Structure 1
Amino acid sequence: MKNSLKKILKHAAVITTTAVISMASMQQALASDNKYKLKLASESGDSTSPVGQSMQLWAKLIKEKSNGRIKVNVFYQGELGGQQELFDQLVRNNIDMMLTWPQTSYDDRISMIYLPYLVLDWKDAINAYKEGGWLKEIVTPVFADLGLKYFGPYPEGFGGVATKGRYATNFEDAEGLKVRSQPIFPLPQTMKAMGFQAVPIDWSEVYTSIQTGVVDGDSSNVIYWDYQYFRDQLDYYVQSNQNFSSFALLMNDDMWSKLDEEDQNIIASAAQEVIDLQFKKAKAEDEKWIKAAQEAGMEYIKPTPKEMTAWIKRVRKDVWPQAEEKLGSEIMDKIRANASLPQ
């Protein structure tokens, strides 16, 4: 009786093990048969720009990791529309993925990533945005509520103010200077708090606006954009650091949910490689373009520590209460609890 029972149990165990292996093999086979053609877009940067090259890398890694099952078509600056139009298409699932400056038109809470002087230096930024970092843990669920999968930030560096004719390193000197600002809260409000006259203008219209005198310069971008696209129009770049300039790697959540776990891991791991690489190279990339701008005749200026502290305190005092009305006290309390104080 005991031997018979042992044989039955052994036979059952073999059947169960075989079934589990067969089921796993079936799942693997099914996963390996899934084929997708995805659209990846950005509103700024041509194929030769750092953003364009990073989009190519993300697409390449996805293709390699999936053995060619998942192909990504990349669309660069202006090919599928402007900034707001592209973000609309991402939310509506007409575009699958974006490397973008997210728009706040659907949810005011997105504006937290544009909050002025949110982080103050590279070490501060890395601690905030790393996996498990305090800022990433606040940002991720906000994008989820919008129907977007947030992989993380694509850092460029700290934004400044580029102008022609004259420049400013303090509130008083900024009076009368008109600078273009991205039409996203709280970027125009930040420039106003710094003393400038902010003029919200879409990226595609910036060059003509500077050329015709609609504005005296550009703001909130790292020097690469002002040197690469407007260097024949601009004389000065002030490293005011009011915003940590970073794009976001995003995917429409409906598309994300259609993927099995294997393919989600492929896309997410590829995104993380792009993010990790960009954090390593962003500072050096920014310094390269600072040097290039200086060699081309653009004057690069750093405010004194006293001037920086004055700007930080003034802007936080002015803009952060405005942000609280949009973000809510819960988010702002977390930000105030974690944000570094100026030296």
Structure 2
Amino acid sequence: MLTFYSGVAFSEPVELRMATGSGGPGSSVGNSLDQWAALIEEKTAGTPDEIKVDVFYQDELGDQKELFDLLVVGEVDMMINWPMTSYDERMGIRNVPYMIFDWEQAFNAYKSGGWLNEIYSEVHADLGLKYFGAYPEGFSGVATRDKYATTVEEAKGITVRVPSNFPNPLTIEAMGYTPVALAWGEVYTSLQTGVVDGDSGNVIYWDYEYFRDVLDYYVRTRHTFVSGMLSMNQNSWDSLNEFQKNAVADAAAEISSKQFENARAFDQTYVEKAIESGMEYIELTDEELLSLARKTRGEVWPEIEDAFGKELVDKIRENAPSL
């Protein structure tokens, strides 16, 4: 419900810059970015505390790392992003392999009061960022051309792009592949020229939308639950009054909640689109999944204790399902 103010001299609206490093106009992330901005403007329109939001999509202000840098220093105020680990390796907690196995576990981890939600709130605060919530996409996989793998042995000799965020390269290597860390904007050309044989770590949407003409297979390895973050520079947050903070935070909560409601069906839609386009979709058997989970946990989890600290890793061990 809108509240109308009469006889009030309004100051100029507060202007905020919102961005994402993954997704252009009309993409799923781009649409969510637009909706977050629209909700904030709607909630503050016609008040003395009006907010105007300028939206910037993938590559308009820089690549993923450059955008995260801009968020940390406050040149960008808000983001839907997949955080870089260059400032704090604990940002890579969401990439710990085989920590989550189904959507119910993911929701319980990332919901308000959930164990991963609390961890990320603390980590963001340490970087001078305000954390609003998760932006879930689904379970990751490995997309390749010419051949595919469902076991460590089959993966040997297959070179795949991997996001550079810790511990992604370690995970893909433990799964048997040869990892090559590449920025998102370099992936298509690298696939075309044979620098890599595939892409790893994404839900099928990204491999279908961007690379379906150069990839033949998508194996749902489920090694990570892919989730972005809705966050804001802390100084930008502190500059708002309580009414404006509530508008921004409530709008973020709506976007996160809507994404949890829709992401699973959205992901399945793209499985069907990929199959229709000629891409072969492969689900791991329970035996294959358990084998990969045991191997990657055995090799990668000991490494994360040095990066994240024992206390945090103990929380992961307490909350992740046993094998």
**TM class, shorter-length:** over 0.9
Alignment of structure 1 residues 118-267 onto 2, 5 Å: 118-267=99-248
The Cα shift of 1:34 comes to 7.1
Equivalent position of 1:19 in the other structure: none
> In 2, Cα distance between the equivalents of 1:198 and 1:277?
34
Q: Distance in 2 between matches of 1:34 and 1:286?
A: 41
Q: Which runs of 5+ in 2 are unaligned?
A: 1-7
Q: Which residue of 1 aligns with 2:31?
A: 53
Please list every run of 5 or more consecutive structure 1 residues that lacks an aligned counterpart in the other structure. Answer: 1-28
Q: Higher helix fraction: Structure 1 or Structure 2?
A: 1
Distance, in Å, in 1 between the alignment partners of 2:312 and 2:220 is 28
In percent, how many aligned pairs have the same letter?
52
User: Which one-letter code corresponds to 1:254 in the other structure?
Assistant: N
**What is residue 321 of structure 1 aligned with on the other side?**
302
> Paired residues, what number?
313
The offset of 1:183, in angstroms, is 1.1
Provide the rounded CA distance (Å) in 1 between the counterparts of 2:257 and 2:309.
Answer: 31
Q: How does 1:325-340 map to 2 (within 5 A)?
A: 325-340=306-321
Report the CA distance between 1:173 and its aligned residue: 0.5
User: 2:70 maps to what in 1?
Assistant: 89
Instruction: Return the match for 1:72 from 50, 53, 56.
Output: 53
CA contact (8 A) 2:94 2:226 kept: no
1:126-171: CA deviation from partner (whole Å, max 9, x where unpaired): 0100001111111211110000001011000001000001000011
Deviations 1:313-334 (Å, cap 9, x if unpaired)? 1111111111110000000001
CA distance in structure 2 between the partners assigned to 1:318 and 1:261 by the alignment: 47
- 1:303 and 2:281 correspond: no
Deviation at 1:341, TM superposition (A): 2.2
4+ long deviations beyond 2 Å = 32-35
Amino acid at match of 1:46: G
| TM-score normalized with structure 2 length | 0.95
Provide the alpha-carbon RMSD of the alignment: 1.2
Partner of 1:292: 273
Pair member with larger Rg:
1
Q: Offset of 1:108 from its aligned partner? A: 1.3
CA distance in 2, matches of 1:81, 1:341: 40
1:286 is aligned with what amino acid? D
Name the CA distance, whole Å, in 2 between partners of 1:135 and 1:79: 31
Distance 1:160 1:294 in 2: 15
**Is the aligned partner of 1:38 residue 2:38?**
no
User: What's the TM-score, normalizing by structure 1?
Assistant: 0.90
SS of 1:199's equivalent? strand
